[in-house]
Amino acid sequence: MIPRYTMPEMAAVFSDTARFGRYLEIELLATEAHVGLGIVPAADAAACRERAPQVDDAFVTAVDEREKVTDHDVAAFVDVVQGAIGAPAGAWIHYGLTSSDVVDTAWCWMLRDACDLLLQAADGLLVTLVRLAREHRDTVMIGRTHGIHAEPTTFGAKVALWALQVDRDRTRLRAARDTVAVCKLSGAVGTFSNIDPAVEAHVASALGLRAVPATQVIARARHAEFLYACASVGATMELIAVELRHLQRTEVREVQEGFKVGQKGSSAMPHKRNPISAETISGLSRVLRGNLQAGMQDVALWHERDISHSSVERVVLPDSALLAYYVLRRMTRLLDGLQVFPERMLANLWSSHGLVFSQPVLLGLVQAGLTRDEAYRIVQENAGRAWDEGRSFRELLAADPRVTVPDAVLDDAFDLARSVRYAGRGVDALDALAP
C-alpha cells in the first residue's frame, strides 16, 4: 500500500523484517520441539537460538540477494539463516518442514495481530459514535428516502444506527480473528509424513495459535473471511461517509467536516470546504471490496496446493488490513471534528411547508371515517398544492371542506414532538453494547 494510506502500527505487522522475524521464530520453535522427540541434540537447538541472525534490513537484503540464485524466497531465507548459525547446528533449521508450514503459519500470525489492531480501532470509533449519538439524541432533522423529505427523525437516531453497525463489524472481526489464528506444520501434503504432530502442537502453543488439519496449505477460505471482515468495515465506513457527503452539500449543509487552521479546500476557489475525508473513505472502500473478490478466487487451488494464491495474497492481505485500519481511524478523526448545525436541520425540515406530516394527517382522516383511498387523494392533492404554490400544508388542509376533522386532530398530526417521541430508542440501545 502507498504511504499515504499507511499507518505505522499496522505497517509494522507486515514489514519484511517482521515477516522474516516470524519465519525465524517458527523455525527455531520447530527445532526446539524436535529436541523433545530425541531428533535434534539439545546443544544444537540451543546453538540455533543463540546464533540466530538478527533480522534487520541487512538480513532482508541478504535474503533478497540469495533469492536471485535460488529463485525461491523461503529456500533463500533458510540458506541465509543456516549460514549465519553455521554447521552442524544450522543443518537442523527447516528439518521436516515445507515452505508453506512456515509461510502459512506466519501469515496467520500476522493476520491475528492485524485483527487485534482493527478491533482496537473499531472500539475507538464506537466510543466516538456513541458519544455523538447521545449528544444529539434530541436533535431533530428531516429523514429522507430516495433523497426526498420523508418524516422527521433525529441526528442521534441516525448516528446510533451507524454505531450498531460498527458493533456488528466488531463481531465479524472477532470471528475472523478466531478463524485465522491457526497454524500448520504438517509437511508437504499435510500428512505429517516427515514431521511429528508434536512439533506442530509445540509451535501452536508457543505462538498462541490453534493447529488445524490442512493440505500443504491452510484453507484459503480462512483468509477470505478475514478479507470479508475488512470489506465489511469498508462498506460501513462508506455508508457513513456517503451520508455525511450528502448532508454537507451546500443546499443541505446540516453537517460539515472540520476545517483546521491553514487548510485549503481548493487550489482555485478559496471558499471551498470539501468533504475530503468522507470522499477518501468512499473511494478506499471500493479497493477493499475488490480485494475480497481476489481473496475468494484464491480459495480453489489445484489438488493439495498450487501457488496461484501466493502472489495475490502478498498484495491483498496486507493492503486490506492497512486500508481497513486507515478508514476506521480516518472516520474517527472525521467524526471527532464534525460540525453539526441543528438550526439548519430544523430549517430544512420546515422548508417543505409541513409536507413531512402527511402520513399522520392521512391516518387522522381514516380514523374520522374516510376510506384510505379517499383520505390519500385528499392529502396528496393538498400536498401537491403546498409544494407547487409554496403554501402551508396545514392551512390548505384546514381550508379544504372535505377535511372535517376537529382542529385537535390536525394539531396532533403536525406535532413535531409526537413524531420523534420514540426516535431515541436506537440511542438507548447503545447502552447494551459490550465494551
The 10s digit of each residue's pLDDT in 353-364 is 999 999 999 999
The cell for 58 is 541487512
Please give the span between the terminal C-alpha atoms of the chain, in angstroms, as a whole number: 31
pLDDT digits (tens, 9 = 90+) for 105-149: 999 999 999 999 999 999 999 999 999 999 999 999 999 999 999
Q: What is the pLDDT of residue 435?
A: 67
Question: Does the 355-413 domain belong in CATH 1.10.40.30?
Answer: yes
Q: Are 176 and 116 in contact (CB under 8 A)?
A: no
CATH of 1-95, one of 1.10.275.10, 3.40.50.2300, 1.10.3720.10, 1.10.15.40: 1.10.275.10
Q: What is the pLDDT of residue 263?
A: 84
pTM greater than 0.85: yes
Q: What is the pLDDT of residue 434?
A: 73
Q: Is 303 a residue of the active site? A: no
Cis bond before residue 88 (omega within 30° of 0)? yes
Q: Is 146 a residue of the active site? A: yes
Q: What is the pLDDT of residue 260?
A: 79
What one-letter code names the amino acid at 240?
I
Q: Using alpha carbons, list the distances in angstroms from residue 384 to 108, 370, 393, 412.
A: 61, 20, 9, 21
What one-letter code names the amino acid at 114?
A
Q: What is the pLDDT of residue 14?
A: 97
Identify the CA nearest to 423 among candidates 131, 166, 143.
Answer: 143
- Domain locations in the chain? 1-95, 98-257+272-350+420-435, 355-413
Give me the sign of the Cα torsion angle 78, 84, 85, 86: positive
How many Å apart are CA 376 and CA 362, to the nearest integer? 6
pLDDT digits (tens, 9 = 90+) for 249-279: 999 999 999 887 888 787 788 888 889 999 9
pLDDT by 10s per residue, the chain, length 435: 689 999 999 999 999 999 999 999 999 999 999 999 999 999 999 999 999 999 999 999 999 999 999 999 999 999 999 999 999 999 999 999 999 999 999 999 999 999 999 999 999 999 999 999 999 999 999 999 999 999 999 999 999 999 999 999 999 999 999 999 999 999 999 999 999 999 999 999 999 999 999 999 999 999 999 999 999 999 999 999 999 999 999 999 999 998 878 887 877 888 888 899 999 999 999 999 999 999 999 999 999 999 999 999 999 999 999 999 999 999 999 999 999 999 999 999 999 999 999 999 999 999 999 999 999 999 999 999 999 999 999 999 999 999 999 999 999 999 999 999 999 999 999 999 976
How many Å apart are CA 170 and CA 150, to the nearest integer? 31
How many Å apart are CA 296 and CA 129, to the nearest integer? 32
| Annotated active-site residue in 72, 193, 266, 308 | 266
The cell for 355 is 409536507
CATH code of the region 98-257+272-350+420-435 = 1.20.200.10
Q: Do β-strands 339-340 and 140-145 pair in parallel, antiparallel, or remain unpaired?
A: unpaired
How many Å apart are CA 255 and CA 339, to the nearest integer? 5
Q: How many CA within 13 A on the CB side of residue 35?
A: 17
How many Å apart are CA 49 and CA 45, to the nearest integer? 6
